[in-house]
Amino acid sequence: MSQAVRCEHHDAIIIGAGISGLYQLYRLRELGLDVRVFETGGDVGGTWYWNRYPGARFDSESYSYGFSFSEELLQEWEWSEHFAPQPETLRYVNFVADKFDLRREIRFHTRIVRASWDEAALTWEVEAEDGHRARACWLITAIGPLSVPQLPIIKGMEDFRGHAFHTSDWPREPLDLADRRVGIIGTGATAVQLIPVVAETAGHLTVFQRSPNWCAPLHNAPIDAEAQAQIKAGYDTIFARCRASHGAFIHDADRRKAMEVSPQEREAFYEKLYGEPGFGIWMGNFRDTFVDEAANRTISEFMARKIRVRVRDPETAEKLVPKDHGFGTRRVPMETGYYETFNRDNVRLVDLNQMPIKRISPAGVVTSGEEHRLDILVYATGFDAVTGGFDLIDIRGCNGQSLKEKWANGPRTLLGMQISGFPNMFTIVGPHNAASFCNIPRCSEQNVEWVTDCIRHMRARGVRRMEAQEAAEAEWTTHVHESAARMLYSKVDSWFMGVNPNRPGKNRRIFLLYGAGAPLYREKCAAAAANGYEGFKLA
């Protein structure tokens, strides 16, 4: 028997059973396709399956995050809090998988390590770590922008005698922190959710901070019966607001510029935003805070004053005030009591700029000043963002071309959806795609629907091969970089800019997202489709 016969054959293969992969499965099945999903994890949920650390919860309003495609689902599901905790979100994803019977097409515990295009057969073949293989006409990656945990590179990590893990590997069995000495390395959005919760139960907590971030209050609250009824009656309005906004959140930039109003009015506006729930202070701020340094300085100074008021020890407060970047130029961590945590007797902040980590010892973390003895060490050190998931699969297109090599100097795509030289492959929520810089389900629904329409179009016309044209890809890549260049975040190191200090070769700034906003992105995708998939070669 030939090898090809022994491998599964499908119409479409989806890699990933998170929010995007599940919806893509639902839509392609509706189209009558035979679909197979491969998922590394043991169940559905993607980011919500893996990230179970205490304090993990939405930073987008719960009701703006759920799937919008089924009115019945919207009416059936009840979010309990304005910003739901991770266990509830995972229950939600499971509820969706059960309701639409999605699990039967998913092979769990299957990490795809290789994918190659067969030009003669016009199919993709994928291979899993366990040797399992499958073929299909279409390959859709739904692997998430923040799915590859990134450990730091520190001498002696393997010597630590206590319990050490990355936040996305938080132990599934209950972890008793009482009387334990816990260390957390990192102060990004994950750590900012985790730190206050750990501080409440741990015997002692040491936070190792290299770069402080500008954190804003989440102001979470339970959803009462009246609000629940309003939410259920108002989904159309909620989703319309998301559609109209830059990042598909319910918050959109204020049309005024920061300097157009008096200092008193500006202060009152910032105070109002600071007292409101969610990303409003970031996404709903004066529109020039993202592009104008003077405007940005006014909100940064406001935020710095808040930190200095909330943190009692002036020296600690100063360490928590970012000095090297303005507010909102990196992802704003949302916090609940984060700054007050540093007023507790059992919490210590170690500034790694003053005392860099020298090594991990069997007993803890050794900085230039001392050895911090620990029982548990948590790496809240982030992810190999956006392209990291692609790097883990050996993806080979026409003539065996490697995607990793093609992207060695940064991603090149058309609409963040297809890649020249890699026919019939779609990258939902991939690089240079608005969905990676977005209230993800809102934008991934658009990606999925665009891909579904495209496959419907191909089938209706007997088109068996679709590929981004090189010139159109180059034009899109230039557009992505040009629209990011005016934004202040392009002058700051962060995962937005592809900077990963722990991954050799990723220490330079190459923008990975799409900064011109979800509405423009949707328009461009729709225009390409309306013009017979302009920029793509259909054969």
The residues of the shown chain that bind ligand NAP, judged by CB under 6 A, are 57-59, 146, 152, 185-191, 193, 210-211, 331, 352, 380-383, 495, 501-502
Q: In terms of residues, how long is the chain?
A: 539
Nearest distance, CB of residue 286 and ligand NAP, angstroms: 22
Residue closer to ligand NAP (CB basis): 105 or 335:
335
In the complex, least distance from residue 357 CB atom to ligand NAP, rounded to whole angstroms = 6
Q: How far is the CB of 86 from ligand NAP (least distance, A)?
A: 8
CB of 444 to ligand NAP, least distance (A): 14
Strand partners, 183: 206, 377
CB of 169 to ligand NAP, least distance (A): 12
Q: Which is nearer to ligand NAP, 153 or 485 (CB)?
A: 153
* Backbone region of residue 295 per phi and psi (left: phi > 0; alpha: psi in -120 to 50; beta: other values): alpha
**Nearest position to ligand NAP, beta carbon:** 188
Residue 77 or 495: which CB sits closer to ligand NAP? 495
DSSP at 258: G
Residue with token string 């969905």: 435
Q: Which residues pair with 107 in a beta bridge?
A: 38
Distance in Å, CB of 532 to ligand NAP, minimum: 36
* Rounded least distance, CB 59 to ligand NAP, Å: 4
Residues 6+ apart with CB under 8 A from 166: 149, 150, 151, 378, 379, 380, 381
Cα separation, 203 vs 366, whole angstroms: 20
Percentages (nearest 5) of helix, strand, coil residues in the chain: 40, 20, 40
Going by their DSSP bridges, the two strands 123-128 and 133-141 should be labelled as antiparallel
Q: Could you give the angle at the alpha carbon of 33 between the alpha carbons of 71 and 64, nearest 5°?
A: 30
Question: Looking at beta carbons only, is 284 or 382 nearer to ligand NAP?
Answer: 382
* Nearer of residues 21 and 333 to ligand NAP, judged by Cβ: 333
Nearer to ligand NAP, 275 or 356 (CB): 356
Tokens standing for residue 334: 């949302």
What single string gives the DSSP state of each residue in 286-322?
Answer: BGGGGT-HHHHHHHHHHHHHHHHHH-SSHHHHHHHS-
Residue closer to ligand NAP by CB (options 206, 424) is 206
Instruction: Provide φ and ψ at 437, rounded to 5°.
Output: -130, 60
The answer to whether 208 touches 186, Cβ cutoff 8 Å, is yes
